[in-house]
């Protein structure tokens, strides 16, 4: 289950915190399963689900932000290219 999240960017501190919580909850759940304390296991599984949902929501927001960022970068690249072409024309015409 946690293999899916290996690709999360390390700079994303909120995602890292949530991922750490999910990992810790998973460890507690595995320990409690051996002790057969089903009530605590169920409670921890609910917490793990909430943490996983929070991670999913954070990743969706990050994805949307990255998408919008790409829209800002496209015209910037076009402007830089246009400027370079004009400078080239200017210097080659002399």
Q: Which residue has the higher pLDDT, 10 or 91?
A: 91
Confidence check: pLDDT of 85 > 60: yes
Report how many domains make up the chain.
Answer: 1
In tens, the pLDDT along 50-73 reads 888 888 888 888 888 888 888 888
H helical segments located in the chain: 13-35, 38-92
pTM: 0.53
What is the domain extent for residue 78? 2-92
- CA angle at 64 for the pair 60 and 69, rounded to the nearest 5°: 145
Q: What are phi and psi of 8, to 5 degrees?
A: -65, 135
């Amino acid at each position: 289950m946690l293999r899916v999240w290996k690709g999360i960017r390390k700079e994303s501190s909120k995602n890292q915190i949530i991922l750490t919580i999910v990992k810790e909850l998973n460890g507690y759940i595995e320990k409690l399963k051996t002790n057969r304390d089903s009530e605590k296991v169920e409670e921890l599984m609910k917490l793990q689900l909430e943490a996983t949902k929070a991670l999913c929501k954070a990743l969706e927001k990050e994805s949307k932000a990255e998408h919008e960022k790409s829209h800002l970068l496209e015209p910037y690249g076009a402007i830089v290219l246009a400027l370079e072409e004009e400078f080239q024309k200017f210097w080659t015409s002399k």
